[in-house]
């Protein structure tokens, strides 16, 4: 994989959207088993948000093979009207984001960040982040509001991940939103994240060295994400996520340099 020609594009054709939906099914359905059997018939994962004209789908290619995708949902007036609010993002159905809206601030909600397993230890992840950044800048976005996968349906482990993130200094000093009590989630844990030994260490207050799930750790380290709430139960995937904010003006300098290096001499595919 040393001589791969990488590129990214905004999905605009039916074939593009098929590639988006297939990658998402491969990760959420085939790999993680989070989708019901009804999705297996078409092996595509799509929701109503995907069809809105304010939703942007991004694809990353290794050569001619689509290997990664994500969507960036911008505020939608119809969604806002149906919610009875002003934000117009899907996450606003589950947490109150009204306090985050201010004049001059343009929010967007990135989600469905998917990289096929064989490509996760390559530049595919960074190319997808770079595409998210470049396209969001082009559209005037100032802040991303999202919720990162915690890889568990255990309330105990989800709360421990939040504690470890707080211990690492990854909580936002400015923004905080409330979520429903995760202990009331209608689920019997089937996917623990931490081992009994790790939980025992946490009970003793020994949080140094404890793991944080891949998605929140990735975005905290590379994109400057800061978490704005305790874990949120996602009934669609039936596991916990961690709400976060990322300011485009506060992306770490090293990350921006990496983006620029990747794109040097390369234009987004058309």
Cβ atoms of residues 137 and 89 within 8 Å = no
pLDDT grade for 187, boundaries at 50, 70 and 90: low
Q: In terms of pLDDT, which residue wins out, 188 or 247?
A: 247
Predicted local confidence at residue 263, as pLDDT: 80
131 inside domain: yes
Q: Which residues pair with 241 in a beta bridge?
A: 149, 232
Residue 50, in any domain of the structure: yes
How far apart CA 127 and CA 6 sit, in angstroms, is: 8
Percentage of the residues of the chain whose pLDDT score is greater than 70: 94
Band the pLDDT of 270: cuts 50, 70, 90.
Answer: very low
Residue 267, pLDDT above cutoff 50: no
Does residue 268 belong to any structural domain of this protein?
no
What per-residue confidence (pLDDT) applies to 265? 56
Give residue 188's pLDDT.
78
Give residue 23's region: left, alpha or beta (phi > 0; psi -120 to 50): alpha
* Pairwise CA distance, residues 149 & 234, whole Å: 9
| Dist. CA 205–CA 198, nearest whole Å | 11
Mean pLDDT of the chain: 92
Q: Kindly tell me if the per-residue pLDDT of 100 is higher than 90.
A: no
- List the Cα angle 177/87/223 in 5-degree steps: 60
Out of 1-10, 23-32, 87-96, 217-226, pick the least confident.
Answer: 1-10
Give the separation between CA 86 and CA 181, rounded to whole angstroms. 24
pLDDT score for 1: 46
* Domain assignment present for 142: yes
Looking at the structure of the chain, the number of domains it has is: 1
Top pLDDT among 21 and 103 is at 21
Mean pLDDT, residues 213-237 taken together? 95
Q: Which residue in 170, 153, 132 sits closest to 248, CA to CA?
A: 132
Evaluate if residue 228 carries a pLDDT over 90. yes
Q: Quick one: how far is CA 27 from the chain centroid? A: 13
The CATH number assigned to the domain holding 186 equals: 3.40.630.30
How far apart CA 173 and CA 226 sit, in angstroms, is 8
Question: Averaged over 112-120, what is the pLDDT?
Answer: 97
**Residue 235: how many CB atoms within 10 A of its CB?**
10
pLDDT in tens, 22-53: 999 999 999 988 887 777 778 999 999 999 99
Check whether 87 has a pLDDT greater than 60. yes
Residue 209 lies inside a defined structural domain of this protein = yes
The per-residue pLDDT for 186 is 61
* pLDDT at site 83: 85
Annotate 153-199 with DSSP letters as a single string: --HHHHHHHHHHHHHTT-B-SS-------GGG-S-------S-HHHH
Domain extent, residue 126, equals 6-263
Residue 251 lies in a domain: yes
175 domain residue, yes or no: yes
Q: What are phi and psi of 84, to 5 degrees?
A: 75, 25
With b meaning 16 or more CB within 10 Å and e meaning fewer, what string describes 123-155? bbbbbbbbbbbebbeeeebebbbbbbbbbbbbb
**pLDDT tens digit string along 246-263?**
999 999 999 999 999 988
For residues 195 and 207, give the distance between their C-alpha atoms in angstroms, rounded to a whole number: 13
Helix residue ranges, H only, the chain? 14-24, 77-83, 124-138, 155-167, 196-203, 214-223, 253-263
pLDDT of 183 above 50 = yes
Model pTM greater than 0.85?
Answer: yes
**54 pLDDT higher than 80:** yes
């Amino acid at each position: 994989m040393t001589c791969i020609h990488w590129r990214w594009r905004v999905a605009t054709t039916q074939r593009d959207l098929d590639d988006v939906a297939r990658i998402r099914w491969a990760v959420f359905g085939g790999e993680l088993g989070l989708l019901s059997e009804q999705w297996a018939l078409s092996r595509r994962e799509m929701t109503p948000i995907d069809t809105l004209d304010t939703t942007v789908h991004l694809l990353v290619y290794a050569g001619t093979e689509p290997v990664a995708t994500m969507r960036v949902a911008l505020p939608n007036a119809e969604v806002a009207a149906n919610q009875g609010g002003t934000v117009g993002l899907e996450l606003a159905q589950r947490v109150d984001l009204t306090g985050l809206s201010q004049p001059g601030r343009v929010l967007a909600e990135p989600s469905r960040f998917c990289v096929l397993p064989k490509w996760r230890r390559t530049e595919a992840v960074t190319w997808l982040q770079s595409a998210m950044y470049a396209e969001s800048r082009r559209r005037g976005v100032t802040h991303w509001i999202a919720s990162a996968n915690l890889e568990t349906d255990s309330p105990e482990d989800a709360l421990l991940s939040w504690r470890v993130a707080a211990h690492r200094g990854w909580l936002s000093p400015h923004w905080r939103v409330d979520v429903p009590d995760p202990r009331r989630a209608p689920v019997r844990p089937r996917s623990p994240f931490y081992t009994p030994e790790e939980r025992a260490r946490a009970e003793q207050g020994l949080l140094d060295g404890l793991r944080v799930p891949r998605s929140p750790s990735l975005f905290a380290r590379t994109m400057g994400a800061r978490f704005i709430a305790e874990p949120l139960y996602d009934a669609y995937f039936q596991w916990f996520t961690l709400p976060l904010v990322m300011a485009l003006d506060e992306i770490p300098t090293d990350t921006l340099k990496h983006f620029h290096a990747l794109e040097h001499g390369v234009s987004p595919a058309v």
